[in-house]
Structure 1
């Protein structure tokens, strides 16, 4: 971890930087146990943590004030917010991070899926992941120097956008599965809000064809938000049937024109462009890296598509990939979407457009749902497909080999690849 003001290495978790003296306690507030935090009073500490969180995500001062009032019932004036930010040493236009430190971080990101980033996505990653204070133009120039070939290729792309209209968040949720990694045994399921383009869930697993698994993702998301959308949009796959039935049952209690069975829409995958268009961003910025990684294993004759190899890929890579999906979901939901003439939806950060739509001339179209209703319907769902006995035995065998060889649990794709190759050789696959 580096100090975002002077780039000095932090060997512990101090409240103030030993080199420049700036207050950096907000970097650790999210992970520090409550009893170990300064005794400023629970309310003040909580508000300071929320302010630091939303500031680090890049929201404007006015939106942060709205977030505090709307989501947390905390009334705070704009001048008080600025004073608290100044006291915490949080700034966007002072104490810029040294370019050498920024260049080192970009180099590290370019080793993995960050090589698919444009300079805007890289700039957002540097701010959120590393807490750097850096100019976007500086990031653009650094990437042009460090990765000129990919920068030139991205500059030649041409996008054709469809016109999309929505009056507010939770009007339509678009649900779809992503099958580009299925040849390697990994399936992905995602859901996006049509108005704000906020990712509602993004999960990977053994299958995205099990109706119970898809329904559980929907119910879990509804329980976390306490709201269900006005309409749900899916393709005609059988995996969406149970989720559609649950949604229509929950919506049958309302009296609007889309209540009951009208609240769900079936259609072709190509017409479900709310999420189909987002998959293109996902591929450019994340999944293409994994497709190339697994494809390279296949080209090196380390993966042949057999059942045993697929089970080993899941064992080594599934948790690492889910961690990256969670990270990408967070980054996407707090990045800025630029305005385009072909869209009737607003521009801004998805998280802000979803939670404070009145700032973007929108209104919340969702319907509140109770935890009791979620629990009642969830208890009636059939059990999800579990690992078959053969795969359970293989997973136990791979776990035993990993323990015997002293291989650590992989935390990134490099360690997962190393574990895969070693376990493959040990298991004589």
Structure 2
């Protein structure tokens, strides 16, 4: 039981939430007094043993070198917690204010517009869409978010987001992992969602008592859950990459052609995907504040998604049999392990091997590698 208590404590659950989870999920009935005693015996406390200020400053300074320069103090605090730093939110705010006063001033000038929204529970409705701001550079991002909990279901970068078989593959991978599908999927009118629409309706074909269509379409701009999250993704992550790639284009080092796109994909696709994974991980673990819309639950997306009983609702996942999933898998294509065109990938690996270069570990190393490969290959043409 102690290991569960430690896990949920590190996840950020409150005492009442931990007691509810232990009772509902693990059949442990623990009083709050006993729970506090266990935490105290294991040295677990939220207001002691803080990480040293030097370590906090070093972490934030490193984050500010890349897309972390876009973060506000609340999101930076969530990243600190996710990376094992025990810190005060106020300390994070003060450090960012000292290290990045320009960024603080720019964020303070912005305003957030809220719209009313309602979803019955986790897996009642998923919202999917593609993010095309990096598409001119060869990076096509597709994502899906749960409407109730706001948990990111998938967030993938690849060379295309226009292939319905590929988008169907993203969907079917999650359905296979969950052994079920949502009650409703909301997508836009694009042809790239055709396979998801067909799979979703196929899985619900035996649920004749359902009055709501299992796949809804509409304008992309009205798909508010995922559209809001794209704005968040740009603010906290993608604006850095847009600026980085834009500088290459503006300085004449990227012409939008087949070769330049392939080289940029080879050098940066893995780093972009890593950053997407990191952003989704931190988002799913961070705390969403209570809003004026009382229909919107507040809390951590992972907790809201996995423990709907705490919010007086249930999981709306519709079970799907293995045979049906396999039938749909046969109609899908999935991402290859290589990040770009196979010929460009092979050529780049040969050049890297001959030049004894190391794979890039950060965006600036990736840009340097791109410039080197571009010069070498253009000299051979």
**Structure 1 residue 306 corresponds to structure 2 residue 260:** no
- After superposition, residues 364-375 of structure 1 pair within 5 angstroms as 364-375=315-326
**SS of the residue aligned with 1:270?**
helix
TM-score (norm 1): 0.82
Does structure 2 conserve the Cα–Cα contact (< 8 Å) formed by 1:180 and 1:291? yes
**Structure 1 residue 406 corresponds to structure 2 residue 356:** yes
Q: For residue 67 of structure 1, report the CA deviation from its aligned partner.
A: 4.5
Quote the residue 2:109 is aligned against: 156
Q: For residue 363 of structure 1, report the CA deviation from its aligned partner.
A: 2.5
Q: 340-349 vs 117-126, which deviates more?
A: 340-349
Equivalent residue for 2:279, pick from 328, 339, 346: 328
- After superposition, residues 12-411 of structure 1 pair within 5 angstroms as 48=3, 51-67=5-21, 73=26, 75=28, 77=30, 81-129=35-83, 131-258=84-211, 262-342=213-293, 344-379=295-330, 381-383=331-333, 391-411=341-361
Q: For residue 85 of structure 1, report the CA deviation from its aligned partner.
A: 3.8
State the aligned residue count.
377
Quote the residue 1:420 is aligned against: 370
Q: For residue 318 of structure 1, report the CA deviation from its aligned partner.
A: 0.6
Q: Distance in 2 between matches of 1:385 and 1:196?
A: 27
Q: For residue 376 of structure 1, report the CA deviation from its aligned partner.
A: 3.0
Q: Distance in 2 between matches of 1:290 and 1:366?
A: 36
Distance change in 2, residues 1:83/1:222 (3 Å): farther
Does structure 2 conserve the Cα–Cα contact (< 8 Å) formed by 1:228 and 1:369? yes
Q: For residue 266 of structure 1, report the CA deviation from its aligned partner.
A: 1.0
Which ranges in structure 1 are unaligned for 5 or more consecutive residues? 1-43
Q: Distance in 2 between matches of 1:300 and 1:168?
A: 49
Q: For residue 237 of structure 1, report the CA deviation from its aligned partner.
A: 0.6
Which ranges in structure 2 are unaligned for 5 or more consecutive residues? none
Does structure 1 conserve the Cα–Cα contact (< 8 Å) formed by 2:169 and 2:332? no
RMSD of aligned residue pairs (Cα, Å): 2.3
Q: Distance in 1 between matches of 2:342 and 2:53?
A: 49
Q: Distance in 2 between matches of 1:263 and 1:385?
A: 26
Does structure 1 conserve the Cα–Cα contact (< 8 Å) formed by 2:166 and 2:332? no
Distance change in 2, residues 1:70/1:243 (3 Å): farther
Does structure 2 conserve the Cα–Cα contact (< 8 Å) formed by 1:162 and 1:343? no
Q: For residue 300 of structure 1, report the CA deviation from its aligned partner.
A: 2.4
**SS of the residue aligned with 2:267?**
helix
Q: For residue 340 of structure 1, report the CA deviation from its aligned partner.
A: 1.4
**SS of the residue aligned with 1:287?**
helix
**SS of the residue aligned with 1:180?**
coil
TM-score (norm 2): 0.92
Distance change in 2, residues 1:338/1:185 (3 Å): same
Which digits, 9 at most, give the CA deviation of each residue in 1:90-147, with x for residues without a partner? 3211111221221111111111111111100011111111x12211111111111111
Which digits, 9 at most, give the CA deviation of each residue in 1:139-159, with x for residues without a partner? 111111111111111111112
